[in-house]
Structure 1
Amino acid sequence: MPRLLRQFAVLGEPVESESGEWALRYDEDGRAVIAHRNGEITWAAGEVGSLRLELDGVFAVYDGPAVVWRGDAPVRSYSALHVTDEGDGVLLDDGLPVYSLRTGPIEAVSLGDRAPVAEIIGNRILKSANGKRTVVRQDEHAGLVHKRRFTGGGMITVVQPDEARTLQQPDTWLTWRFLDSDGSGAWELVLVDAAGEVRWIHGRGRFDPTGAHPADPTADHRAADDANFVAWLESGLDIEAYCVTVIHDVDPDEALRRFGATDAEISTATWPELLRRARYEEADWHQVVAAFALGPHTLLVEDNGWEGSNRPDLSRGTFAVSSYCSINADSVFLVSRDGDTLATFQENCPGDAEGSDIDVLTKALAEMGIDDPRAFDEDDENFLEDLELLCRVAEVRPTIADVTAPARVAILPR
């Protein structure tokens, strides 16, 4: 028998409690009830019909296609209904009990950001200081549900029940550590001992403190070819989605100020150090930007950003070129002077350029063998090398050495 009725599911066969003594089922009249084997009923739907869990009021009873009754459980988020051995129906949010049909809302009890695994159960949860990370466990037979929240979404991973039970060791605590595992670091769910040593890492199993550390990725970066137009981004910065902007005749600090940074928010770091700091601070909805000096000019690089391609004002009193490409290959190219948009186009289609002086692209495109931009756009086999275009229009040639040197950096709230 199933142990849960999940959101948007229709009740079919009974959903039983752990002991099997209680179940959510239909009675002889076809009404959904929570009942004991001896016939005692602790909850009943308001009408006869098929019970379905929904968003609006949670409970809905259907007679054919028509809704004949809705419940009124005041919950904002839930994923399933669980029947307890006390005859209660409890709504769970990914394992965390949030509402009892008998007593109402269930408040979570935070154990802080460090606790023995055995203590994480029911409404007793592990919670990071900033509230962005939690670990919950429905009961002693369930796994550990690790939830990470960030603006616009979140991520859920699960420590399976068998592995969770092996973590219930004396004098150990489940917590988070910021580990340097990929060159920039990340918050990891770990088990530590009384000395604070990491004994287990979620997703990697038992931790071997004598294991080899990954090689310094900059060694390969520096061996890459500095002569092409993309090595500085692909090898020097090791990013695929990007927004990069060249601003003429301003220094890095001034470029960051134009971006919105105050002097107090500007510091010095390498690109990996900046990303590590952003992960440590869990700056998931912030502008993470580095400003690299290119002689008298500045190269602005945004981590998972897009703002430069929408900011002709960055060019006030000077000249700027920006190119944006998302992980989904959405793109914007912008050329501006003194706050005026000279040329801009999207989806790598220079033939669709608009602005007050689209001829600013002509010389650079011709150098790339594109004499007729519209004809270029119409040929599906063509692909515009936007970074080469940026370098040619801005008349700069960034190198790997430029972007692996310390930069002026800032992390700004959006």
Structure 2
Amino acid sequence: MVEVPDAVLAELAGPVATALPLIVARIPPAPAAELGRLQVTADGDTWPTLRSAVQHRQMARLPSRARPGRGDSPVRDALGSLPQLLIERLLGALELTVPELDLAGAPDLTGFLGEPLTGNISVGIMDGMSEAVTGAATLDQIRPGVLPLVAALARRLADHPRVAALLAVGPEITDEQEIAAAHGAVRLALAVATAAAVLHRAGVRPWAIEPPAVLGVAIGTAVLLLREAPMPAGYAAAQLARARAEYLLPRGSSGSVPVSRHRFALLEGTEIPEVDFDGNGLVVAVPGGAVIRTGVETGHARILLRVLDGPPPDVATGWEEIVEVSWRAAVGGASVVGSHPAEPHLRKVTPPWPGDYRLRVHARGRDDTDEGDTEYYELVVWQAPAAPVTVYARTDRLGHRLRGEPEPARPERPETAYRWLRRSSLAEAATVTVVTGADVADVLRAFGADPARPESVRAISEDLMSRQSIDPWVAVLDLGGAVLVVEYNGWQGSNAPVLTRASAGGRAASMFWNVNAVTRLSFAEHGEVLLSVEPFADLDAPPQVAPALADLDFADHHRGKWLMGLVAVQRFTGHGITAEDLARVEAADIGFRIVPDLPTLYPHRSKPGNPPDPATEALTGLPEPKLRDLAWWAAAEAARYAGLGKDPDIVATVAARALTSEAHLRARRSQLDGGEHPWVWLALHRATNPDPVAAVTDTVEAARYAAGPYAANLVADARAWVDRSAPR
């Protein structure tokens, strides 16, 4: 950056100072306050009730439509950090003001820039991107160095005597919103005046310095200024007063805290003091908060924090350690802190006023750090007079060691054997199925795979990834007495038809889980599905299944429902999956693609509370033969509209009113990614529904999609068909 002499800066200060009052008067208070809080929201150091739209956007990690995409232009990066709506509000407020500015006395700054860019330029523009963003990006390309020059001059002008006095927020303003708005408005005005003066006197072509471009540069520059400028002297007190006025109870938040040296804290400050945990083995009160002992030395712990308006009505169950202590807040607004700042929604979460508080700390999982399990903590805070430490639960081994007590003899939980899966390739989503009484080839055929068509697992995965497809496939392993089936991110083993076929000669059980914490535990024996459910608390299991579920607490989801489900699979079939089994499967690198079953057909059911559907009511008055005729007419129409009216397999299916074996296989294949005419085959399949009303409604639904642009004609013909068939 070329240094601008003080004399030139003084010449620029006059026009900029003159323009400031006009610009400030045109800036709306709300967006000005958003900008004015940038310095305190940059690091999350503000109260939850006062967090700006800018910070909430950053917390949610929302993609910016104004994202500049360069990384080497601070002004553009700063502009791109703002929400699109905020940019548009400022553009709308100031677009007509820029041409009114009298900056005739501004010096010529052309000599402080390099040569203008010649040739073509390219600016990436996203649909709906603000003119302010595209204008700033264009300027950055056609006149390199002009954006940094604006930012540098604005910084220097902020300290110039003629300008600095205009940037001060007077002590007569005491309201938080008004202080933030005044602080943001004056520095935005400085940036606008500076940008307008520089861009009009820097040799830039007129078409490139229309008001949106000037404001784009100015808003980005203002963000830089406001991130650096200290808040006005009265802001901290005003912020605290507003936080106290708006703080409501009860409230809660959850997230993750970074742990270091076996500890995190709930503190008004940020430095966690050294303490000994030999008193209760979990928590120690310190000035301004409390320090909590973790099992993991370095890592993260999951936190649920609740602030109540009184003590909890009862003591929670399911926790290994529960201890309650008193602590005193000097100001209020303690945060969950760790080795580095916790998530913004865990900062300044306790009441924003001083006094005595109680903190009840609940802990689970401190003994399981070697297996990589997550530790969970619930912190409950309420205002109450100081009282002695109260211990409600003290059962984990770590707590006993810290207190100098003999460790309790605790039986190993059965799901511990499967914790290795949390660090495996199946950690996020999979289905594991175990089948007895069948060989590998029979099991593959039960899943809809062809034993004669093995493929490389890597090749299958690369193919599906390139097509962004979730077509099913399996890998299998002969365990000697059972067959292990592994589906990576698949779920065929949880489907009733698959379990029915697989268990024909013995037993089959499967556990499905995915990244959304959806699970399904299934059991089948001798061709009958005995139980297939999302496992929660108490399962109503048949006698054959009940022993497999004994002592498995599916209500305690923190320990992993899917891990407990795998225990049940092992108990039911006599075999489970081990790390060595999975390693053998992956070393073999052989998988089999699945041709999935057609969707299950369900009878028609009216949704409770919904008004009767006139079209469906009309169908219920027709005799079953008429309904069957209508369903197959709709299926045939679907084929005709798709140009398949003379297809031999479809003709034979319509004539037989049942899918032929060839048609059934084609219908199944059509459901794969890229399958041919899926809606036609789905219409033919739905026409076979044993429930005649469902056969009609579901077949017409599929036929509409098969007809595509002629859907309206098909629906009209179907209604006419019903009208002609209705009893007179």
Relative to its length, the structure with more helix (as a share) is 2
Please give the range of the TM-score, normalised by the shorter of the 2 chains: 0.3 to 0.5
Q: TM-score, normalised by structure 2?
A: 0.24
Q: TM-score, normalised by structure 1?
A: 0.40
Relative to its length, the structure with more strand (as a share) is 1
For the pair shown, the structure with the greater C-alpha radius of gyration is 2
